[in-house]
Amino acid sequence: MKRIEATLLAHDLKFAIVSTRWNHLIVDRLVEGAELAFVQHGGNTDHLDHYLAPGSYEVPLIARKLAESGRYDAVVCLGAVIKGDTDHYDFVAGGAASGILNTSLHTGVPIAFGVLTTDTVEQALNRAGIKAGNKGGEAVLAMIETVNVLRQLAASNP
């Protein structure tokens, strides 16, 4: 069996980050983690653009426009949807998740789902770097690897 495995090097990659203004205390930490991971894996901050969306529900449209632009190897979507006392959480979290997935499948550009969906602010903060690692950084790593695997796939199937 031939195993195809990608590197985690971002030397020649160009990424866009789409993050939300909503829950900025949490999301700002995700963005910091994403930028740090990109740089630690050889990426140049000049090849990392950051776009702000009002909230997680608006992220998929911005991500789609960025993916369709042809300027980026991947788009990293970051946000935080925290459960409240109403059904609003279900609609926003579900809409963001399906919109981001559909964007990636439609455009063929890797799109990371780095939108936290938690029951509490404490859970979100933990996933933004306090206890459970930084999910923004993890989203960037997933995109570096995905882009590099896709490049290998393209090279082996001209």
- Among 15, 132, 150, which Cα is nearest to 78's? 15
5 in a structural domain:
no
> Any catalytic annotation for residue 88?
yes
Residue 30 near residue 135 (C-beta atoms within 8 A): yes
pLDDT of residue 108: 97
CA distance to 48, 58, 59, 97, 109, per residue, from 52 (Å): 13, 10, 8, 17, 19
pTM surpassing 0.85? yes
* Domain assignment of residue 23, yes or no: yes
d(CA 61, CA 27): 18
Burial bucket for residue 54 (CB in 10 Å: 0-12, 13-18, 19+): exposed
pLDDT for 68 beyond 70: yes
126 has a pLDDT exceeding 70: yes
Residue range(s) defining the domain that contains residue 141: 15-150
Number of domains in the chain: 1
29: domain CATH number is 3.40.50.960
Residue 30 lies in a domain: yes
Condensed to tens digits (0 to 9), the pLDDT of residues 15-32 reads: 999 999 999 999 999 999
Look at residue 74 and tell me if it is in a domain. yes
Catalytic residue among 11, 50, 88, 106: 88
